[in-house]
Structure formats: structure tokens, C-alpha cells
Amino acid sequence: MKFELEIGRALALVAACILAAPAGAQTWPDRTVRVIVPFAPGGGADTVTRVLIEQLNKNIANRFVADNRTGAGGTVGAELAARAAPDGYTLLTSAFEMSINPTMRPNLRYDVFKDFVLISDLAHANYILACHPSVPARTVKQLIALAKSRPGVLNYGSSGTGGGNHLTVELFSAMAGIKWVHVPFKGSNASITAVMAGEIDCTIGSTNSVGPHVKSGRVRALGVTGATRAPAFPKLPRISEAGVPGFVVNGWYGFYAPAGTPPEIIRRLSTETKRALFSPEAKEKLRILGNEPVASSPEEFETSLRAETAKWAKLIKDIGLKPLN
């Protein structure tokens, strides 16, 4: 009898768990959902996140809020999200540093493929290679020739060592066969400001951050990094067609949840993310910012993230870039 009672209790517990999970997913979200952005307000990841949140608040419930937690190339916010309760009330967006940090920062206290559930690739961004107007180069080919004639003299700024735009320029340098000086800043906006002031020669930044200064004439754009031309700058050539065949870098932004988040919530987030990003309002806002919505499935996102991680790991090894502690 005692054995049968224990069996009965165990079965009842299993049944309760089975019934509880869908019920929780059905009522989600019934309180604030925090979306951690591991970069500063106004940057690419932040602006894409806020476009997404605006639509999620319209379509699901007005409970999504952005929470900027900056530091260490996006790893501070990512670790915070990885350690959060897997209940659907803490999520993470991030930039393509998520594919760089595992190699550049080998002491990470999280594993993107083990400590997160991948929800969706959100958007792809084109980056502009731009220089101060005093730099005597008006094309990519002219810049390469100038750098080769002044090895170690010409310089470029980035958002920081090991960041996305730093490694984008390093890939460009390796493929173009040039050597110039890296000047790291604390954020991409700081490097763009330094170019405008004539303190450094060149930088690479998103169409959203660099574009207005190109239009004002304070910096000179030479080319874009993506596989296609930027809609906001249709006359600006791709770097791959302007002097470095095969060079393509698309910045991208992803959406994550802590490992163990209920599958029902992940499925709903994946569906609602696509619905949000491909709404006419969101598409228009993203394209003004120089982004193209993607909204891939979790499986597609994992495939692309693994490929990106391998790509940057190879570059870091090939150029002998020293990992950060």
C-alpha cells in the first residue's frame, strides 16, 4: 500500500509539472520582461533592441523594457543574462561581439551555446569605411595604396580592442595587405568623433552612426563592408567591388534567453520577433538606421552563429591577435 501511495504521489507530481509548464507559458508575460542590452544607449544594438521592444509591446503586452548593462565588450551584460532565472522574464540582445568574445576573451564565465537558448538573429547592418577629409584618398584602392606607401603611419580608430569594428578593420587589413596603426577608443562614437576632429585618420562604423557625418561632409566615406550596398548610400561601393575582392562583413544583432527557459516561451518569442521586425513600422525604422530585418529561426541562428564564431577565431589566430584577460 505504501509503495502504491508513493507511486501515486510521484505520478501526480509529474502530471502537475506537465500541466504547469504550458499554463505558465500561456500567462507569460504577466509582469515586466527585462531585455538586457550589453552596450551603451544609442549604439547599434540598443537602437535595434528598442525598435523590437516597441513592436513587442504593441503585439504582446506593454511589459518589455530595455536594461543597458555595459562593459568588457558586451560580456558584463551577457553574463548577467546567463545567470538570470530561466523564466522568460530576463532576455538578452547583443551584437556580433558574441561570436568574437569566446576567442578574444577566453576567460568568459559563460558559454553562449550552453548557457543560452538562441531565439533569433534580429538584423544585419552595413558598416562604412570613412576617413577625415584631409586624408588624400577618395577610394578604397587609393587608401590601400596610401597605407602601403606609409606603412605604420596611417591609423584607424575602433570602439576598443577585440570589438567588432576592430576585427572588421583587421580583416580588411589582412586581405588588403596593409599595416596601419590601431587606436582603440571607449565606444564607436568616440572614434568617429576623433576622425571628425582630425585626431585620427579613419574608422569603420554603422551607417546609423557614421552616415550623418558623411552627409554633412565632416568625414569622407570610401565604401561599405556588406554583401550589398547600403540603401541610404546607394552610390557608395562595396569594399569587395572597390579594391578587396571577397571582403564581406555584415554586422548583426541577436536575441537570447537563459538556458532552461521554457520551450513554449522560446517558440512564442521566435514567432513574435519575426512578426515584430517585419511589421511595416519596424522595417522602415530599421532601414533608416541602416539595418535589414532577419528574424531567423533558432536553428538558423545557431548555424550562422557557429559559422561566425569559427570565422573570427581563425582571423584572430592568423593575425596573432593577443586574447584579452
Q: What is the pLDDT of residues 113-144, one digit of tens each?
A: 999 999 999 999 889 999 999 999 999 999 99
Q: What spatial distance separates the first Cα and last Cα of the chain, rounded to whole Å?
A: 61
pLDDT at 191: 92
Domain presence at residue 4: no
Q: What is the pLDDT of residues 7-41, one digit of tens each?
A: 443 443 344 444 444 545 678 999 999 999 998 88
d(C-alpha 26, C-alpha 104), whole Å: 40
pLDDT at 25: 62
From 213, 242, 271, the end of a domain falls on 242
Say if residue 256 is in the same domain as residue 232: no
Structural domain harbouring 58: 33-125+250-319
Q: How far is CA 97 from CA 63, 146, 177, 292, 324, in A?
A: 27, 30, 24, 18, 13
Helical pair 263-277 and 44-59, crossing angle rounded to 10 deg: 100
C-alpha grid cell for residue 153? 603611419
Domain presence at residue 24: no
Contact 122, 283 (CB under 8 A): no
Which pTM does this prediction carry? Answer: 0.84
Going through 41-136 in order, the beta strands assigned E by DSSP cover: 64-68, 90-95, 116-125, 127-131
Say if residue 121 is in the same domain as residue 159: no
User: How many Cβ atoms are within 10 Å of 268's Cβ, its own excluded?
Assistant: 18
Domain presence at residue 156: yes
From 185, 211, 242, the end of a domain falls on 242
Domain presence at residue 26: no
